[in-house]
Amino acid sequence: MSSPPLVAGNRLQARGLSLGYDGRTVVENLSLDVPDGRITSIIGPNGCGKSTLLRGLGRLLRPMAGTVTLDGVPLARLSTRRTAQLLSVLPQAHTAPEGLTVADLVSRGRHPRQRWYQQFSGADEHAVHRALEATGIAEFADTPVDELSGGQAQRVWISMTLVQDTDILLLDEPTTYLDLAHQVEILELVHRLNRDLGRTVVMVLHDISLAARFSDHIVAMREGRILAQGPPGEVVTERLLEKAFGLRARIVPEPVTGRPHVIPLARAAAPR
Amino acid sequence: MNPLSATPVAETGRDAVRAAPSPAVRPFRSVRALRAGPVSIRVHPRTVAVGGLLIVGVTAAAAAHLAFGGTPIPYIQVLTALTGGATEASVHLAVTEFRAPRMVAAILVGACLAAAGAITQTVARNPLASPDILGVTSGASAGAVAVLVLAEGGAAGLSGPAATVGMPTAAFTAGMAAGVAAYLLAYRNGIDSYRLILVGLGISGLTAALTTWMLTLGDVTSAAQALTWMMGSLNGKDWALVTPMAAVAGVLLGAAVLCGRWLLPAALDEDTAIGLGLRLGLVRVVALTLAVLLAAVATVVGGPLVFVALASPQIARLLTRAPVPPVTVSALTGAVFVLVADTAAANLLAVPLPVGVATAVLGAPYLIHLVMRSQRRPL
C-alpha cells in the first residue's frame, strides 16, 4: 500500500469562522487549514467548541460569520446533497430506528449518490460489502444495529461514512463510550483509511495521548479559539496542557512510537 | 513537496482497493433490490407479501362491510348490484347509493389516517406522534363544530351549502391550522419529538375546550349533530362528499408513497440525515404538510376518528418487521382497521354505533401498551 501523500494542499479551509447556537457564540473568528491526506485531531477541554467547529466544517451549522470553503467554494453555496458527496460526517450521537439492520443502515451512506430510481445498485451493494469488510463487521450485515455492542455499532456508523466515498471524513469523538481496546481498534481503522485510501480525516478526540499517537496534525482549542496547531510533538507540551486544560502534567515520549504521552499530575502532589 | 500530489496518490490508493478482487458478492438478506439496467428499486420481500395479503384483506373487509352495512344482503346480490346486474331496486339502491359510498369512505379515512400516522411517527421518531396527538383531528373538530353551531342550522340542523361545503372546509382549515401551530410552536433549532408531542397535546386540549364551549352556544339540534360528528361516524356519507374527497385522497396518498424514500434517512438523527445530503428541513415540512392534509381529509369525511393513525402504522411495522412503518402497508392496514371497526360497530350491539366508538375500544388498549413500553425503554 502507498505511503501517506507527501502533502498537502488544504482543500478544506475555515476563514474568520464564528459559530454558535441561539446567538451564543461558541467558536469565534477562527481560521484553519485542514491538511489534505492527513489525520487532524482537534483537542481541548469540554465546551471549548471542538464539536461545534467540526459541525461547522461539515456544513451542519451555518456560520454566524466567516466561511468554510472546500476547493475554494464556500460550503454555504453548495447544496446539502453536493456537500454530502464531498465530505462525510460522523456525528457524536447518532440514532437509528429499532430493527434497522447493519447492511440497511450502511447502504444509506449511498444516499447522496442515488436518484429515486437508483435505490440500491450493484455498485452500491459492492461498496457496502467493502466497507463492512474494511471495518470487520461483515458477519453482522443482517443483524439489527440495536443488538450490537458499542464498539461494533460505532464501526457500523463509520462504515456508513465510508460508503459515502468522500475524500474528507469528519469524525466527532469516534471513540466515545468505548473501552481502551475498542478505542485503539477504531483509531487503527481510521489510520488505515488514511494510509490506504488517502482519506483526509478530521476528528475530535478527548484522549490527548491517543490523539498524539494517531494524528499527523493536532489542533488545540480553548474557549472557541485555536491555541496551537502543528505536529503532535510540537503541540502536545506541558505548557499547552496547562494553558488549554488547566492541567499540570508531565509529557514523556511514549516508548513505542516516541510520540508525546500525557501523565497527568495530581494537583496537590504536583511537584513545583 | 508537490502540492498536486495529494489527490493523485489518494486516487491511486483508492483505485488499488477498488481493483482488488472482491469476493463474489453475496446479496444481503436484509437489503434487496430489483435491478434492470440503471434502475434499482429497493424491495423488502416481507413488506411486499404483507401488502399483497392486505389487499386481499381490504377486499374481503369491503365485501363484508357492504353485505353487513344494515340489513344483511347476500354477497352474490352485492356483487350483482355493483356490476350493474339485475337485482331488486331497493337492493340496488342500498348497495350503490348508501353502502358503497360509505365503504369507500371507510377505506379512504383509514388509509389517509394511517398514512398520516406513518409519516408523523417516522419524521418525529416517536410512535406516539400521530395526527390525533398533534392536534390536527381536534383542530378539525373545532372547525366543524364552529360551522355547525355558528351557522345556526336551527331545529332542522345544518343543511345546504353550509353542510356540504362550509363544514368540510372549516374542518380542513382548522385542522391544518392546528397542525401548523403545533409544528411552529415546537420548532426550536429543529424538531424535538417530545416537544412536538407535548405542544400537540396542549393544542388538542385547547381546541377541545373551545369545541365544548361552542357546543354550549348552539341549540340542542346543532349540538347533537356536532356530537355525532365528533364521535367519528361514517353514517350517511354519500357520493357528493366521498367522490371529491377520494380524488384528493388518491393524490395525497400517491405523494405520501413517493416521499417514503426520504422517510428512513429522516428517521436517523439530524446531523446524520443532513450529512447524507437530505434537506431535512424541507423534507420535514413537506412530509408533515402531507400528513396534516391527509389527516384533515380523513377528518372531513369521517370525523375525528381516534387511534387509527396511531395504531395502524405500528401494526404495519410489526407485520412487515420494517424499521420504519411503510406508508403503503400502513394505509392498507388503516383501511382494513376502519372497515372492520365500522362493520363491527354497526352489527355487534342492538343499536348501531358510530365507528369512532369501535376504533376507540380497539385502539385505547394499544395506546396504553405503547405508553407503558415507551417508559421502559427510551425511544
- Taking an 8 Å cut-off on Cβ atoms, the answer to whether A119 and B42 are in contact is yes
Closest in A8, A22, A128 to B6, CB measured:
A8
The pLDDT value recorded for residue A182 is 84
| Statement: residue B4 has pLDDT above 50 | no
Yes or no, beta carbons of A36 and B39 under 8 Å apart: no
Q: Give the residue, A217 or A118, on which the prediction is more confident.
A: A217
- E strand or H helix that includes residue B193: helix B193-217
Query: Is it the case that residue B154 has pLDDT exceeding 70?
Result: no
Averaged pLDDT for residues A156-181: 91
**Would you tell me how many other CB atoms lie within 10 Å of the CB of residue B122?**
28
Question: Would you place residue B25 in the very low, low, confident or very high pLDDT band (cuts 50, 70, 90)?
Answer: low
Select the residue of A80, A91, A142 nearest B278 (Cβ to Cβ): A80
Architecture of domain B63-376: Orthogonal Bundle (1.10)
What pLDDT is recorded for position B230?
A: 82
- The gap from C-alpha B225 to its chain's centroid, in whole angstroms, comes to 25
C-beta of residue A256 within 8 angstroms of C-beta of residue A243 = no
Task: State the pLDDT at residue B109.
Answer: 95
pLDDT of residue B13: 41
The crossing angle, in degrees rounded to 10, of helices B100-123 and B280-302 is 150
Which residues of chain A form beta strands (DSSP E)?
12-21, 24-34, 39-43, 65-70, 73-74, 87-90, 168-172, 200-204, 217-222, 225-230, 249-253, 260-264
Q: Which residue has the cell 360509505?
A: B102
The residue-averaged pLDDT of B356-367 equals 83
What is the pLDDT at residue B127?
A: 85
* Entry field: residues in chain B: 379
ipTM of the prediction greater than 0.90, yes or no: no
Closest CA to B103 of B225, B231, B242: B242
Inter-axis angle of helices B220-231 and B136-150, to 10 degrees? 160
What pLDDT is stored for residue B280 in this prediction? 87
| Chain A residues with CB-CB distance to B279 below 8 A | 79-81
Q: Where residue B2 falls among pLDDT bands split at 50, 70, 90?
A: very low
Q: Which of A177-186, A233-242, A262-271, B11-20 has the highest mean pLDDT?
A: A233-242
* Position with higher pLDDT, B24 vs B248: B248
Q: Does pLDDT of B15 surpass 70?
A: no
Is the per-residue pLDDT at B1 higher than 70?
no
Is A140 a residue whose pLDDT tops 90? yes
CA distance B328 to chain A (A): 17
Question: Is the CB of residue A137 less than 8 Å away from at least one CB of chain B?
Answer: no
Q: Which chain A residues are closer than 8 Å to B3 by Cβ? A: 7-9
How many angstroms away from the CA of A227 is the closest CA of chain B? 26
Residues in chain A with CB shorter than 8 Å from the CB of B5 are 5-7
Q: For A150-154, A212-216, B41-45, B88-92, which range has the lowest pLDDT when averaged over its residues?
A: B88-92
Confidence of residue A172 (pLDDT cuts 50, 70, 90): very high
Residue type at position B319: L
What is the Cα–Cα distance from B367 to A76, expressed in whole angstroms? 44
Task: For chain B, say whether A46 makes contact (Cβ under 8 Å).
Answer: no
What's the confidence (pLDDT) of residue A93?
Answer: 85
A91–B40: do the CB atoms touch at under 8 Å?
no
CA distances (Å), origin A33, targets A68, A69, A227, B272: 10, 10, 14, 24
Pair B331, B291: CB distance under 8 Å: no
Across the strands, what pairs with A202?
A: A40, A170
Residue B288: which pLDDT band, with cuts at 50, 70 and 90? Answer: confident
- How is chain B split into domains, by residue range? 63-376
Q: Which residues of B touch A90 (CB under 8 A)?
A: 275
pLDDT at B262: 82
pLDDT recorded at residue B11: 39
Residue A80: per-residue pLDDT: 93
* Helix (H) / strand (E) containing B16: helix B6-19
Q: Enumerate domains of chain A plus CATH numbers.
A: 12-264 (3.40.50.300)
The more confident residue out of B203 and B86 is B203
> B6 or B156, which is more confident?
B156
Grid cell in block for residue B286? 413537506
Averaged pLDDT, A250-262: 91
What is the Cα–Cα distance from B192 to B124, expressed in whole angstroms?
7
Query: What integer is the mean pLDDT of A215-224?
Result: 95
pLDDT at position B132: 80
Q: Do B40 and A103 touch (CB under 8 A)?
A: no
| Minimum mean pLDDT range among A2-11, A240-249, B346-355 | A2-11
Question: Per-residue pLDDT for B270 more than 90?
Answer: no
What is the tens place of the pLDDT at every residue in A35-55?
Answer: 999 999 999 999 899 999 999
Q: Determine the pLDDT at residue A3.
A: 45
- 3-state SS, residue A24: strand
DSSP B276-336: TT--HHHHHHHHHHHHHHHHHHHHHHH-S--SHHHHHHHHHHHHHT-SS--HHHHHHHHHH
The percent of residues in chain B predicted with pLDDT above 90, rounded, is 27
Interchain contact, B269 vs A164, CB within 8 Å: no
Confidence of residue B24 (pLDDT cuts 50, 70, 90): low
Give the pLDDT of residue A230. 95
A121 contacts chain B (CB < 8 A):
yes
The residues, ordered by sequence, that sit 6+ positions from A140 with a Cβ below 8 Å of its Cβ are A102, A132, A148, A152, A156
The band of B52, judged by pLDDT with boundaries at 50, 70 and 90, is very high
Q: Is the pLDDT of residue B150 over 80?
A: no
B164's CB contacts (< 8 A; 6+ apart) are B240, B241
Distance (Å, whole) CA A146 – CA A222:
35
| Tens-place pLDDT, residues B218-244 | 777 778 878 877 888 888 888 888 998
In this prediction, residue A177 carries a pLDDT of: 76
The pLDDT, as a whole number, for residue B159 is 58
Give the C-alpha separation, A86 to A132, whole Å. 21
Cell 459541525 found at: A55
pLDDT of B12 higher than 50 = no
pLDDT at res. B187: 81
As a whole number, the mean pLDDT across chain A is 90
State percent of chain B over pLDDT 70.
87
**Looking at residues B121-126, what average pLDDT do you find?**
87
Phi, psi of A21 (to 5 degrees): -130, 135
- Higher pLDDT: B165 or A53? It is A53
Q: At B220, which amino acid appears?
A: V
- H or E segment and range at residue B32: strand B32-36
The model carries a pTM of: 0.85
Residue-level pLDDT at A57: 96
Average pLDDT, chain B: 83
| CA distance linking residue B113 with residue B294, whole number of Å | 6
Average confidence (pLDDT) over A86-106: 91
